Amino acid sequence: MITKRIIPCLDVKDGRVVKGINFVGLKEVGDPVELADEYYRQGADELVFLDITATHEHRSTMVHIVEKTAEKIFMPFTVGGGIKSVEEMQKILRAGADKVSLNSAAVKNPDLLSEGARMFGDQCMVLAVDGKRRDDGSGWNVYIHGGRIDTGIDAVEWIKDGVNKGAGEILLTSMDADGTKQGYDIAFLQAVRSAVRVPVIASGGCGRLEHFAEVFEKDAADAALAASLFHYGELTVGTVKEYLKERKIAVRI
């Protein structure tokens, strides 16, 4: 039986983990290496590390922090932010990451997904998409540069194209739901899940235990990512997994 994954996320700015609401109002919440170690001990299935200002600041991901984090954990580790070339992917993987996450760079250069998949395998290529519902309600647009720029590209169509080019997994963040703690964007997730056959990670909006169960019971995602719930100690990974197990949802204990 394929188990559902629980994934803490470290949004990193200036070497510190931060969290905001709807991609704004960022507040510092801790040290990435210490938090990574804590989530590993709690039994997280994977860890996502996103250098959220690297692209906007026109710099590479902070490799030294990736190295320190990788030394502390022994679980799949995805790193994204500011990765613009196969050479930079290689640096991140050599620093200890298992997967690389591409967002803005893939939109600007879709062939980067193909190049990375050829070099490292599609299992290493995570297409991260920050999406926001259009004002007319007709669908979702892709945003880049940490949610600052609306590309006008339809998110579902872009994800289909990205998978065709070599993305082996989708990290889907709803900008509408992000930080609100009102639940994952089920409609957005289901639209993507019905369009592609690669694993989809739900991101943005989780606020309580029931939200984890909902996203899996509605078959909207293969994995659930959360940040502030774990950062502020409102829940532990272990608590979430025990709850899901009681709800007859397969998880790795």
The residue that leads in pLDDT, 245 or 15, is 245
Exposed / middle / buried, residue 105 (Cβ in 10 Å: 0-12, 13-18, 19+): buried
pLDDT tier for residue 27 given thresholds of 50, 70 and 90:
confident
Find the range with the poorest average confidence among 50-54, 158-162, 221-225, 243-247. Answer: 50-54
Q: Which of 70, 50, 89, 55 is nearest to 227 (CA)?
A: 50
Which CATH number characterizes residue 207's domain?
A: 3.20.20.70
Q: Which residue has the tokens 């905001």?
A: 20
Q: Could you give the number of structural domains in the chain?
A: 1
What are 180-235's pLDDT values in tens digits? Answer: 899 999 999 999 999 999 999 999 999 999 999 999 999 999 999 999 899 999 99
Q: What is the pLDDT of residue 4?
A: 98
Q: Domain for residue 253, yes or no?
A: no
Known catalytic residue at 37: no
Q: Which of 115, 130, 131, 120 is nearest to 97 (CA)?
A: 120
Q: Domain for residue 79, yes or no?
A: yes
Known catalytic residue at 130: yes
pLDDT tier for residue 22 given thresholds of 50, 70 and 90:
low
- Asked if 62 and 15 count as a contact pair (C-beta separation under 8 A), the reply is yes
- Asked if 204 and 178 count as a contact pair (C-beta separation under 8 A), the reply is yes
Q: Which of 11, 31, 51, 178 is catalytic?
A: 11
Q: What is the length of the chain?
A: 253
pLDDT at 24 over 70: no
pLDDT at 101 over 90: yes
Residue 209, token pair as written in the block: 């235990």
Contacts of 238 (CB under 8 A, 6+ apart): 42, 43
Please compute, for residue 64, the number of CA atoms within 13 A of its CA located in the half-sphere on the CB side.
3
Q: Distance between CA atoms of 140 and 176, rounded to whole angstroms?
A: 10
Q: What is the pLDDT of residue 43?
A: 98
Q: Domain for residue 34, yes or no?
A: yes
Most confident of 10-14, 61-65, 131-135: 131-135
Q: Domain for residue 202, yes or no?
A: yes
Q: Domain for residue 135, yes or no?
A: yes
| C-alpha pair distances (Å), 145 with each of 36, 57, 58, 153, 155 | 24, 9, 10, 14, 15
What is the pLDDT averaged over residues 1-14? 92
Host domain of residue 159: 5-246
Q: Domain for residue 251, yes or no?
A: no
Q: Which of 31, 130, 178, 222 is catalytic?
A: 130
Residue 69, token pair as written in the block: 């984090």
What's the mean pLDDT when you consider all of the chain? 93
pLDDT at 51 over 90: no
- Asked if 18 and 28 count as a contact pair (C-beta separation under 8 A), the reply is yes
SS3 at position 122: helix
Q: Distance between CA atoms of 221 and 227, rounded to whole angstroms?
A: 17
What are 83-99's pLDDT values in tens digits? Answer: 999 999 999 999 999 99
- Asked if 203 and 233 count as a contact pair (C-beta separation under 8 A), the reply is no
| C-alpha pair distances (Å), 52 with each of 6, 82, 127 | 21, 8, 15
